[in-house]
Structure 1
Amino acid sequence: MNYRPNYGGGGFLGDIPPAIRQLVLINVIIFLFTALLDAATERTVVNLFGLVPAHLVGKGFVWQLVTYMFLHGDVFHILFNMFMLWMFGQELERWWGFRDFLKYFFVCGIGGGILQVLSTFIFGGANSPIIGASGAVFGILIAYAMAFPNRQVLLWFVIPINVRTLIGGLIVIDLVLGFTNSGGGVARFAHLGGALVGYLYLKQDVLLRKWRQIASQSRSTGSRSRSQKDEPPSADHNAKLDAILDKLKQEGAGALTPEERAFLHESAERARRRQKGQH
């Protein structure tokens, strides 16, 4: 039994979960649009919608904390970010769902932007625009490393390495280059901020608490809606759900089997159906 919902439409794009598909399409469309602009107009767009610390702090351009994620400097920049989002984000979205994944993406991107802005008070560069989805993508990377730390990937498509080592190495590189102010024009603190905020967000057990809330709603709603199409959860069902949630908290998402993930997904869907039936 597979816990992954069918996002289907067929073809390559149809196989990509909807949040990632929409993020990639929006980024590509904006990149192509800005590529058609003349140099002066492009600078104006970047200064208005890229993240310029002096504008954020001095002029209150708070929207830049979101819009900077959708601008990219060149083809390699957008290809790298979208590839990483696609490669490491798909399984997370299929597990978390559309809304939770998007929320996490933007939380990490905004957090990365804030840390990059704060770093300019120490290292300078307050008038330099920051662009790219790398902060949000690093949040996705840290989430994947926490969920599947021992999963093997191919570095440069050749060298097998586990995810925790790979992403830990990327963070160490950003730490060294960021604090030695030798980033080479790369917003290292946006990477670090996205990873840090993502780590803290997940360590607060936000998603785990949501599962527990859904489980609680499932039990309370089930006891009040015996006339509904779905039968209320049995004692065995609740005991199994509690055991899986405890395992998730103690050992992390990577320890769950596909069957356990499927069980969580089905429990959540059942709770949502019952909740809708009350309204």
Structure 2
Amino acid sequence: MTDFRPSRFQILPTVVKNLIIINSLIVLATFVLGKAGIDIADYCGLHYWRSHYFKPWQFLTHMFLHGSYNDVNGTIVHLFSNMFALWMFGSILENLWGPKRFLIFYLVCGLGAAVLHLGVVAYEFKAIEHAFMAYQQDPGVNQFDLFLKQHVNLRGGNPLSVQLYRINEIWQNDPSASLGRESVSAINQYLFGTTYQQMYLPGIYDEATVGASGAVFGILFAFGYLFPNTLLYLYFLVPIKAKYVVGAYALFELYAGIRNSAGDNIAHFAHLGGMLVAFILLKIWNKTNRNHFY
């Protein structure tokens, strides 16, 4: 049985403590800047590389954002859940590995999660782009309706997606209307965004991903990998071994990511990416230091 209690166990070790402080301060800054009309996610959230918002530093900075100034409750819940898990499992790992190795592990898991997430996003957008190219060859009322059913949803009340459905409604009521060119333009705006009355309306390429969940899922995996038989208490009552909790999380994230249901704005493959990178790192570290993993 592995003993993860070093001689000087810290309940709130240095890196975990500072990560919690930094993430909390940035959430506070999100609300303060939001009141001034500045959305920090436009600059620091992770964007698809074809978005005009994309910057390389977002692979790192997105890990310290947790929502939008327009959604106070959701942002606070997102922050609390991530920071609670970071403290619960990360504190043990930092005490085990030391601050330097723990910080490297945390950041690499977050970066790996971002890379996998963008890869999945690119794959999904490629399907939309191919469907859009095919539609432009033969823009018709039935083809337009099929495109919307397969590739567009009204999640979040995006005005550009609402515009598409308005065009479709008009076209369905009057199939003889010449709306082919208008529909093509509307789809292009839905993808790339547009400027309306001196205000930029973001397209789906401009959607930002924020949160430390990829890195935190890497931490969760590492805990389950190193201490598989440690009991975790579901709802503080039901004891379950850590390896089963991690396995259940991984299966759920895979199922939810593949299902990709409408209204689900959670980056499930980023969570899986964090777990995958954690597994690779643990294998590499264990191989290079067989006698003392930490």
Deviation at 1:208, TM superposition (A): 5.7
Aligned-partner SS, 2:49: helix
Match of 1:83 in 2: 84
**1:23 paired to 2:103:** no
TM-score between the two structures when normalised by the length of structure 2: 0.64
Q: For 1:62-81, what aligned pairs fall within 5 Å after superposition?
A: 62-73=56-67, 74-81=75-82
Residues 123, 181 of structure 1: 8 Å contact kept: no
Which structure: larger Rg? 2
Equivalent AA in structure 1 for residue 241 of structure 2 = N
Equivalent AA in structure 2 for residue 37 of structure 1 = L
Deviation at 1:107, TM superposition (A): 0.2
**1:175 paired to 2:239:** no
Equivalent AA in structure 2 for residue 152 of structure 1 = L
**1:165 paired to 2:244:** yes
Equivalent AA in structure 2 for residue 197 of structure 1 = V
Equivalent AA in structure 1 for residue 44 of structure 2 = F
Deviation at 1:32, TM superposition (A): 1.1
Match of 1:116 in 2: 117
TM-score between the two structures when normalised by the length of structure 1: 0.68
Match of 1:233 in 2: none
For 2:234 and 2:66, how far apart are their aligned partners in 1? 24
**1:35 paired to 2:24:** no
Deviation at 1:39, TM superposition (A): 5.6
Match of 1:186 in 2: 266
Matched length: 205
Match of 2:201 in 1: none
Relative distance call for 1:89 and 1:4 in structure 2 (3 A) is farther
Equivalent AA in structure 1 for residue 282 of structure 2 = L
Q: For 1:194-273, what aligned pairs fall within 5 Å after superposition?
A: 194-204=274-284, 206=285, 209=288, 211=289, 245=291
| 5+ long unaligned stretches in structure 2 | 68-74, 126-203
Counterpart selection for 1:141 from 198, 203, 220: 220
For 2:77 and 2:53, how far apart are their aligned partners in 1? 31
Percent identity of paired positions between Structure 1 and Structure 2: 37
Aligned-partner SS, 1:99: helix
Aligned-partner SS, 2:100: helix
Aligned-partner SS, 1:184: coil
Aligned-CA RMSD value: 2.3
Aligned-partner SS, 2:274: helix
Match of 1:106 in 2: 107
Equivalent AA in structure 2 for residue 161 of structure 1 = I
Alpha-carbon displacement from aligned partner over 1:53-101 (angstroms, at most 9, x marks no partner) = 1368x77611101100000111100000000000011111001000000
Aligned-partner SS, 1:20: helix
For 2:232 and 2:16, how far apart are their aligned partners in 1? 20
Q: Higher helix share goes to which structure?
A: 1
Relative distance call for 1:122 and 1:55 in structure 2 (3 A) is closer
Equivalent AA in structure 1 for residue 121 of structure 2 = T
Aligned-partner SS, 1:150: coil
For 2:45 and 2:92, how far apart are their aligned partners in 1? 29
Relative distance call for 1:39 and 1:151 in structure 2 (3 A) is same
Deviation at 1:207, TM superposition (A): 5.4
Relative distance call for 1:126 and 1:157 in structure 2 (3 A) is farther
User: Does 1 or 2 have the higher relative contact order (CA < 8 Å, sep 6+)?
Assistant: 2
Counterpart selection for 2:55 from 39, 44, 61: 61
Aligned-partner SS, 1:198: helix
| 5+ long unaligned stretches in structure 1 | 8-14, 213-244, 254-263, 265-279
Match of 1:130 in 2: 209
For 1:143 and 1:105, how far apart are their aligned partners in 2? 10
Alpha-carbon displacement from aligned partner over 1:9-44 (angstroms, at most 9, x marks no partner) = xxxxxx40100000000001111111223367342x
Higher mean C-alpha deviation, range 74-83 or range 114-123: 114-123
Aligned-partner SS, 1:161: strand
Deviation at 1:123, TM superposition (A): 2.4
Deviation at 1:47, TM superposition (A): 1.3
For 2:277 and 2:12, how far apart are their aligned partners in 1? 25
For 2:123 and 2:42, how far apart are their aligned partners in 1? 21
